[in-house]
Amino acid sequence: MTSDERSPENEPRRRDAAAPTSGTDDSPAPGSREFYRQQMLNSIGGWSGTVITAIPTVVFVAVNAVANLRWAIVAAVGSAFALAGYRLALRQSVQQALTGLLGVVVASLIAARTGQAKGYFLLGIWSSFVYAGALAVTLVVRRPAVGLLWEFLDPTPHDGTVPWYRRRRLLLAYTLATTAAVLVFLARGIVQLALFEHNATGWLAVARIAMGYPLYIAAIGFALWVVRRARHRLGADTAA
């Protein structure tokens, strides 16, 4: 060993090289269960995002029960504006804040147009059936939407000769994940449409909240499990 290698100034460099590359913060390691859980929560603004999204709906139903439709609309839109400002003040995603505000405004306009409180929920019902139909189309043409999105963000390693949709194991996994999403949207649409036809405005609010993010998180969790399992087995087969 040379004198340069033994010099004190080289000691910090060697210690740094031996230090973990994951950093000193408490961020979950990529690929861990907590890492994917955190990704799901961040996509909807964390646990606070689930509560914030539900507030305008609860306000709308509560005010409509004690006052009238006009005041319910004013209260819902007002709460949505206040919550959007709150999100921006906390430096949360601008897209989340504006999307939530726009959804409440459009739903309120529909309620005002129909003259019925239950009209507030029509946008969500229509959206559920539209999403279910669009996802079902990708299944029919054998290009599952989950596969298209996943392979765009994180392509499966391959030699360039066989695309992901011609790999039976991958195609099956993406098909199952997309089917789960179709079932979630269909369930939301069917249940809420039945309540809409029975003028059950209060139960519509309950269904909208209960069948919203909880089912969304469950569908993503299932997709992560089934796709990662398929990709792991595919990688093991390739290595063998």
Number of neighbours of residue 201 by Cβ within 10 angstroms: 20
Q: Which two tokens stand for residue 75?
A: 């209260």
Where a domain ends, among 115, 145, 164? 115
CA atoms 210, 216, 219, 224: torsion sign: negative
**Residue 142 within a domain:** yes
Measuring CA to CA, which residue among 73, 141, 155 is closest to residue 106?
A: 73
- Judge contact between 80 and 56, C-beta under 8 A: yes
| Domain-located, residue 133 | yes
Same-domain check for residues 199 and 236: yes
pTM for the structure as a whole: 0.72
Q: What is the pLDDT of residue 211?
A: 87
Looking up tokens 């060993």 gives: 1
Q: Let me know if residue 32 belongs to a domain.
A: no
Query: Are residues 222 and 134 located together in one domain of the fold?
Result: yes
Same domain, 111 and 145: no
User: Are 111 and 135 found together in one domain?
Assistant: no
The amino acid sitting at 106 is V
Question: According to the model, what pLDDT value does residue 232 have?
Answer: 86
Q: What is the pLDDT of residue 144?
A: 96
pLDDT of residue 15: 41
Q: Is the same domain home to 63 and 139?
A: no
Residue 154 maps to a domain:
yes
Examine the domain organization and report whether 134 and 232 are in the same domain: yes
Instruction: Supply the pLDDT for residue 36.
Output: 54
- Report the pLDDT value the prediction gives residue 159, as an integer from 0 to 100: 61
125 in the same domain as 107:
no
The residues, any chain, with a CB within 8 Å of residue 57's CB and separated by 6 or more, are: 76, 120, 205, 208, 209
Same domain, 172 and 148: yes
Decide which of 88, 115, 142 is a domain's last residue.
Answer: 115
28 in any annotated domain: no
Q: What is the total count of domains within the chain?
A: 2
The pLDDT of residue 34: 57
Does 36 reside within a domain? no
111 and 123 inside one domain: no
* DSSP three-state, residue 237: helix
- Indicate if 126 and 235 belong to the same structural domain: yes
123 and 191 in a single domain? The answer is yes
Residue at which a domain ends, from 81, 115, 149: 115
Q: Is residue 136 part of a domain?
A: yes
Are both 180 and 131 inside the same structural domain?
Answer: yes
Domain membership of residue 123 as a residue range: 118-240
Tell me the helices (H) and strands (E) count for the chain, helix number first.
11, 0
**pLDDT tens series, the chain, 240 aa:** 554 444 444 444 444 444 444 444 556 665 555 555 555 555 555 555 566 777 888 899 899 888 888 999 999 999 989 888 887 887 766 666 677 788 899 999 999 999 999 999 999 999 999 999 999 999 999 999 999 988 887 888 776 678 888 899 999 999 999 999 999 999 999 999 999 999 998 899 889 888 887 888 889 899 999 999 998 888 766 655
Residue 82 lies in a domain: yes
Give the pLDDT confidence score for residue 3 in this predicted structure: 47
CA distance 205 to 118: 9
Q: Please report, for residues 57, 91, 112, 176, the alpha-carbon distance to residue 77 in angstroms, rounded to integers and kept in the order given.
A: 10, 21, 12, 38
